[in-house]
């Protein structure tokens, strides 16, 4: 959750949605683990509850709760150093932490206990992804008779169905849930216990982060083995597109940029492009050739396979490419090889670097997102605000937020391709280059992009309607 700890878009969403709900008059409390990253940031915190104890598989365990001291931001941190005071959040470069089942079950149960200690009985408990979804199993089976939660309804939001939280059968006993839940009507999934399944099965309603993804996950291709269950729950399954927090993502005010700019005065964007190329050690661009940017986890999901295969045909077109990302070693090696081969066209930074990400959104002309699947995607929405035109694969939230530009009508905000293949990707880039060469059309496209409004107010309103329906 931004600004406390971040690995990707979930952090942006978890940081923004509660603030916008609060602005619209709702009382929101957010819980996250007290990760080392939060500790190290030195954010001002107050102790909200000291040494709370609860029954954890037949013996008492204790934890403390910290509260953000920033006014109006009701974020609570579950403090249990043995579980959360670690170098990484979920996984190390060598793989997932082996006790993730215990860590996030503890987090989920401790959050429910913290609600009791704070005497805050929510109308809706909104859980995000598998790390919190298991809370709904506790609500149903451990707190079933609790008068405190008797009116509490729930929403489970799926940000990425590929991550389900799968653990050995014996985890149920280790986290204090009935072992009879190990059956396919409940939490069993191909011989494992599936935490996300608790969210999908027991929530009052289920949502995903775009309409198209809510449809895609009901098919075997995108369903990650849960499509049947999701089809069974289709009556309560919806999609709400994420929003953008324009106080953090706005070229007119962004403090990370070499120069600020607005739709009516784009001169600062040229300065950002120059600064970007210098930062990435690339020679200045001929003004008639665009720079393509990418900020991405370097994983299969993000379409790196078709991108890597396209590189040899991409650079002869004259474009430059800059990539900021972290992820799989094999992908890194392929990209490093390409960097050595095309030193004046391609540069790469393997890091998680938010200021540099801002420079890429601003300094690029095109922004490439060739994802194999994309539940929502935020980077295309950030690019639009910075007048940087997305070239995306038509899947999930990318398809919902990008409309193909038509030079004849002057309508649209980007370029899309359907096939998950290198030729389709290259064709979309070539289409973009043709428009880039016609300055009139290009300027119209940039204006369309910058005028797009994906502000959180709209998405937050949709969540409020959904909460009200649930209640």
Number of residues interacting with ligand GLC: please give it, by CB under 6 A: 14
- We find the least distance from the C-beta atom of residue 290 to ligand ADP, in angstroms, to be 20
Binds ligand GLC (CB under 6 A): choice among 4, 5, 9, 415: 9
Residues 325, 8: Cα–Cα separation, whole Å: 11
What is the rounded CA–CA span in Å between residue 197 and residue 357?
34
Output the smallest distance, CB 382 to ligand ADP, in A.
6
Please, which residue, 83 or 415, has the CB nearer to ligand ADP? 415
The smaller minimum CB distance to ligand ADP, of residues 68 and 296, is found at 296
Q: Please tell me whether residue 159 binds ligand GLC under the rule CB under 6 A.
A: yes
Contacting ligand GLC (CB under 6 A), which of 1, 5, 13, 282? 13
Selection from ligand ADP, ligand GLC, none that 296 binds (CB < 5 to 8 A by kind) is: ligand ADP
The single residue among 90, 163, 342, 352 that binds ligand ADP, judged by CB under 6 A, is 352
Residue 12, interface with ligand ADP (CB under 6 A)?
yes
By a kind-dependent CB cut-off of 5 to 8 A, residue 105 interacts, out of ligand ADP, ligand GLC, none, with: none
Residue 326 interface partner, choices ligand GLC, ligand ADP, none, CB cut-off 5-8 Å depending on type: ligand ADP
Token pair 């937050």: residue = 460
Q: Is 206 in the site for ligand ADP (CB under 6 A)?
A: no
- State which residue, 64 or 210, has the beta carbon closest to ligand ADP: 210
Q: Which is nearer to ligand ADP, 135 or 161 (CB)?
A: 161
Note whether 122 binds ligand ADP by CB under 6 A.
no
Applying CB under 6 A, the span of 219-227, 317-325, 372-380, 443-451 interacting with ligand GLC comes to 372-380
- Told to check if 199 binds ligand GLC by CB under 6 A, we report no
Of residues 224, 326, 403, 455, which one binds ligand ADP by CB under 6 A? Answer: 326
Is residue 379 close enough to count as binding ligand ADP by CB under 6 A? Answer: yes
Within 13 Å and on the Cβ side, how many CA atoms surround 320? 27
370 near ligand ADP, judged by CB under 6 A: no
Rama region for 29: left / alpha / beta (φ>0; ψ in -120 to 50; rest):
beta
377 part of the interface to ligand GLC, by CB under 6 A: yes
Residue 394 in the binding site for ligand ADP (CB under 6 A): no
160, 164, 296, 388: which one binds ligand GLC (CB under 6 A): 160
Nearer to ligand GLC, 159 or 192 (CB): 159
One of 1, 4, 5, 9 touching ligand ADP (CB under 6 A): 9
Positions in 238-267 near ligand GLC (CB under 6 A): 242
Q: How many residues belong to the site for ligand ADP (CB under 6 A)?
A: 18
Residues that bind ligand GLC (CB under 6 A): 8-10, 13, 159-160, 209, 242, 374-378, 397
Residues that bind ligand ADP (CB under 6 A): 8-10, 12, 295-297, 324-326, 352-354, 357, 376-379
């Amino acid at each position: 959750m931004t600004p406390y700890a971040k690995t990707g878009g979930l952090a942006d969403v978890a940081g923004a949605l509660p603030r916008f709900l609060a602005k619209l008059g709702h009382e929101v409390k957010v819980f996250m683990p007290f990760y080392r990253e939060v500790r190290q940031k030195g954010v001002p915190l107050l102790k909200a509850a000291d040494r709370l104890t609860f029954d954890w598989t037949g013996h008492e365990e204790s934890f403390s709760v910290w509260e953000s001291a920033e006014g109006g931001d009701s974020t609570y941190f579950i403090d249990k150093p043995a579980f959360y005071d670690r170098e990484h959040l979920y996984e190390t470069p060598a793989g997932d932490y082996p006790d993730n089942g215990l860590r996030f079950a503890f987090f989920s149960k401790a959050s429910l206990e913290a609600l009791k200690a704070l005497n805050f009985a929510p109308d809706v408990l909104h859980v995000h992804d598998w790390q919190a979804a298991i809370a709904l199993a506790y609500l149903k089976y451990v707190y079933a008779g609790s008068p405190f939660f008797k009116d509490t309804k729930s929403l489970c939001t799926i940000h990425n169905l590929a991550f389900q939280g799968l653990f050995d059968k014996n985890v149920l006993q280790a986290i204090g849930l009935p072992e009879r839940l190990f059956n396919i009507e409940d939490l069993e999934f191909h011989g494992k216990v599936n935490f996300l399944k608790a969210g999908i099965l027991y929530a009052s309603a289920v949502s995903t982060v775009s309409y198209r993804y809510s449809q895609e996950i009901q098919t075997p291709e995108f369903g990650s083995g849960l499509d049947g269950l999701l089809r069974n729950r289709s009556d309560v399954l919806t999609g709400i597109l994420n929003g953008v927090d324009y106080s953090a993502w706005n070229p007119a005010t962004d403090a990370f940029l070499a120069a600020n700019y607005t739709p009516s005065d784009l001169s600062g964007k040229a300065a950002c492009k120059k600064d970007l190329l210098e930062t990435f050690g690339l020679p200045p661009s001929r003004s008639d050739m665009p720079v393509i940017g990418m900020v991405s986890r370097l994983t299969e999901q993000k379409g790196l396979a078709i991108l890597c295969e396209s590189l040899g045909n991409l650079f002869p077109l004259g474009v430059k490419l800059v990539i900021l990302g972290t992820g799989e070693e094999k992908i890194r090696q392929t990209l490093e090889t390409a960097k050595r081969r095309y030193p004046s066209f391609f540069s790469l930074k393997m890091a998680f670097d938010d200021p540099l990400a801002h420079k890429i959104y601003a300094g690029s002309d095109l922004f490439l997102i060739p994802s194999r699947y994309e539940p929502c995607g935020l980077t295309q929405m950030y690019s639009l605000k910075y007048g940087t035109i997305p070239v995306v694969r038509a899947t999930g939230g990318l398809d919902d937020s990008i409309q193909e530009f038509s030079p004849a009508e002057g309508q649209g905000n980007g370029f899309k391709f359907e096939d998950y293949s290198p030729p389709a990707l290259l064709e979309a880039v070539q289409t973009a280059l043709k428009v880039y060469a016609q300055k009139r059309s290009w300027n119209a496209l940039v204006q369309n992009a910058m005028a797009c409004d994906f502000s959180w107010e709209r998405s937050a309103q949709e969540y409020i309607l959904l909460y009200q329906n649930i209640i």
